[in-house]
Structure 1
Amino acid sequence: MEGGKSPSRVTAVAGEGSELGNAATRRTRIEDQQEEGDRAVVTAAGQGSGAGTGMKRKRDAVDGDGRGSESSGEQSQHSLTTMMPVEPPTLMPLQELVNTCRAMLNNSGNQPTNQAVSFIRGAMDKIGMLDVGLMDEMGFFLHRNVGPQNPPVLTYKAIYKSPNNFMIMVLYMPRGAVMPLHDHPGMTVFTKLLFGSAHIQAYDWVQPHVCAAGPGSALLAEKVSDRHLTARSSRTWVLFADSSGNMNRFVAGQDGPCVFLKVFTPLYSLVEHQHPSFYQYSPYALDLNVVPVEVPEEKKGRMVWVRKIDEPKNFIKIVRLPYRGPPIV
């Protein structure tokens, strides 16, 4: 036939089309079966090695080309990162104290503000024995301080020192040891009891000064604090440069050694030759050798005469130890 194909040729072509169609259908069924098999393998793998791996393999099977799954995984990871904000690392309590002192205490030599006092006390209240790296050493001190010492050995560690600004340290006192009455001229002192128990006494000078007669005369002082503390219940207390008991006396408890955490600010100036002084006190008594002064009856029980003495080197021995606690940056 002109312009067309013969009927037999048409039939042949139709037959070939039918066979091609059937072949395509069979190939599609085979691919479907393979895909179902792959999915079964993926499911088994997911059950054996975790849902995350199974999901990734399933995405690989569905995507087919292997590239789409990697891109999809990256997008999913990016989505998770975007949806889940990353929290900043938590500062160690000791590092937080150092940072707070750096921020709140300047180099002017002035006394800390009320706000600075509040922030520093709050940072110190968070600190325990573990935070200053002392637990490993307490066994040694507990063993060493079993019996009485003559003279008692007090040890301290300087944790951090900022030139002309502040210093953080820990002080160890053996059982029953006494830190005699002493002061910190021009300093504000933060103190927290970290371990054990102690008895604390603190005094302020009576203003204006009241002097006893005679050479080397004593000054009248008032007891402003007299309390027994335990590490479990103790919070940070502050002795200011000219009030709140800048003169103080510590006595370690009889149940074992005690450990104090301290912050001093500002540091002593070498130019002004400032340094702590030690004192001896005696009960208040009014006699003819005393400059006349009217003391309310209710205050007489808190009054003492305080006289400066030389450093009691034969009474206590103070030793410095290296600090090996958490590093400070």
Structure 2
Amino acid sequence: KTRDFPMSSIVQRIARQALVTFRPPRHAGEAAKSFQENHSKLKSLLTEVRAADLKLVPRRADGSCPAAGVPPRPYPGAPPPVTYMHICETDEFSMGVFLLKSGASIPLHDHPGMHGMLKVMYGKVRISCFDRLDRPAGDPQAAPPAQRGALRRCVLRSTGEYTEESGPCVLSPDRDNLHQIDAVDGPTAFLDILAPPYDPDDGRDCHYYKVLSEAEGKTTEEAPKEKEKEVWMMEITQPPDFWCGGEPYPGPEVSL
């Protein structure tokens, strides 16, 4: 019984630390210091967690699970490129696992007013992070007239690859808040914490974007990939080749 007690699992400790980190401060004077200390503790816990702690078994390239010996449960029509395992959610944060099939991507999207941490459980992901520029350089009138009003001036801050041996990828409301996540060299899974959770009624809805080069309007793949490159970013509807299914979470129960 002790083996399955929630408090003994690192997932439980991560959830408890996330709750402490992101709950509203009781004393404004120490809020910033307290947040940074707790944020650092949460990041350290995420650095330690591994797939086995969540009872995750790496998928094969065809999506099957070696441990079960059977393919994933079927979905109507084409299977989703990405699935989500819900672990827990409070008013302060949500936590779950995203599983990406080989070659799948979570398109460029934002997290309005939200903090986030992403820790790879198995496989490899490439994450491209962008920031909005509050005071755009250059003349917005230089943008194509048909797209004006839907464009954002942004900067590509970083592009990096993460594995289970990497530390977590961290985002904040004003840093690395927009990002794209691509599965590299096979299927992958990552633990994801967002604080507070998405809530369209409270102004935290997910928006999708397409990156254009500043001068010629080419897509990112056609433009030179440079760190700190300023680009036009156009808001778009959810890409038709991306949707997310659901799977049951097999790991230790979390109690909050």
1:99-248 → structure 2 map (5 Å cutoff): 99-107=16-24, 113-135=35-57, 138=59, 141-142=63-64, 153-162=81-90, 164-209=91-136, 211-212=140-141, 213=143, 214-217=145-148, 218-232=151-165, 234-243=166-175, 245-248=176-179
C-alpha change, 1:124 and 1:195, in structure 2 (3 Å) is: same
Q: Deviations over 1:36-55 (max 9, x none)?
A: xxxxxxxxxxxxxxxxxxxx
C-alpha spacing 1:105/1:301, structure 2 compared with 1 (3 Å) = closer
Q: CA deviation at 1:185?
A: 0.6
Quote the sequence identity (%).
Answer: 24
Unpaired segments ≥5 residues, structure 2: 1-5, 26-30, 66-70, 218-225
Partner secondary structure for residue 180 of structure 2:
strand
More helix per residue = 1
1:151-178 CA distance string (max 9 Å, x none): 852001111111x211111000011112
Question: Residue 301 and residue 322 in structure 1: after superposition, are their counterparts in 2 closer, same or farther (change >3 A)?
Answer: closer
1:284 and 1:241 map into 2 onto residues whose CA distance is 24
8 Å contact from structure 1 (residues 151, 315) kept in 2: no
> Separation in 1 of the partners of 2:12 and 2:93?
14
The residue matched to 1:257 in structure 2 has which SS?
A: strand
Normalized per residue, which structure has more strand?
Answer: 2
For 1:167, give the aligned amino acid.
Answer: S
Confirm whether residue 253 of structure 1 aligns to residue 190 of structure 2.
no
Looking at both structures, which has the greater relative contact order when contacts are Cα pairs under 8 Å and sequence separation is at least 6?
2
State the distance in 1 between where 2:181 and 2:18 align. 25
CA distance in 1, matches of 2:11, 2:85: 14
Q: Which runs of 4+ in 1 moved over 3 A?
A: 137-145, 149-152, 209-213, 268-271
* Distance across 1 between alignment mates of 2:241 and 2:59: 24
Per the alignment, do residues 128 and 283 of structure 1 end up closer, same or farther by CA in structure 2, a change over 3 Å counting? same
Q: 8 Å contact 1:193–1:231 — kept in the other structure?
A: yes
1:92 correspondence with 2:2: no
Please say if residues 59 and 187 of structure 2, whose CA atoms lie closer than 8 Å, have aligned partners that are also in contact: no
Q: How many residues align?
A: 220
**Cα separation, partners in 2 of 1:141 and 1:172, compared to 1, 3 Å:** same
CA RMSD of aligned residues (A): 3.0
Cross-structure match for 1:264: 194
- TM-score scaled by length of structure 2: 0.76
Q: Counterpart amino acid of 2:180?
A: R
Unaligned runs of 5+ in 1: 1-88, 288-298
Decide whether aligned partners of structure 1 residues 286 and 113 sit closer, same or farther in structure 2, where only a CA change above 3 A counts. farther
